Amino acid sequence: MTFSVLMVCTGNICRSPMAEGLLLHLLPETLKPVVAVQSAGTHGLHGNRAEPHAVKAAAAHGADISQHRARALDSGMVRSADLVLAMEKYHIDIINDLLFFRCKYALLLGTFAANRENPEIEDPYGLPFGAYESCAGEIVACLPGLIDHIRRQVDMKAS
């Protein structure tokens, strides 16, 4: 039994690869054998590497995303995931359009951060490194709540 998480952003070269790498890095060892994490972009720049600033920002938190290659989101990816985490509301609209109905397991990643007013995680693309650093920090702030959610889902799926 594997619990599949799909991170979604626009180009799959900044936010979603950072989220994928950071979650994989911070996932407890007990969950690593049963949780698969991938990422894709609604307008994925298929085959492109992660932005150098994204690689550096993720590395500052211990995650290596230097081998990442962008993928374009498709309906099969959404259907095969147990949890789809988008960075912005319009990503969820695109996910819903791919399935022709509301995807009940598509959520905004930012909803997992405690005391966060805006659940959207802004795109740092084209901005200075500080924007990527800030974005990575926002993603990391979401991960304790997300990991708790994943743990509960894995336990429910196993029983």
Closest CA relative to residue 65, chosen from 24, 96, 98: 24
Catalytic annotation on 103?
no
Residue 131 CA, distance from chain mean position: 17
Of 49, 116, 123, 151, which one is the catalytic site residue? Answer: 123
**Residue among 9, 14, 103, 135 flagged as catalytic:** 9
State the catalytic residue, choosing from 15, 71, 103, 135. Answer: 15
Task: Verify whether residue 71 is a known catalytic residue.
Answer: no
Amino acid found at 52:
P
**Which residue, among 48, 37, 143, 41, has the nearest Cα to 95 in the 3D structure?**
41
Judge whether 9 counts as a catalytic residue: yes
Distance CA 55, CA 128 (A): 13
Q: In angstroms, how far is CA 152 from the centroid of its own chain?
A: 18
- Which residues are the active-site residues? 9, 15, 123
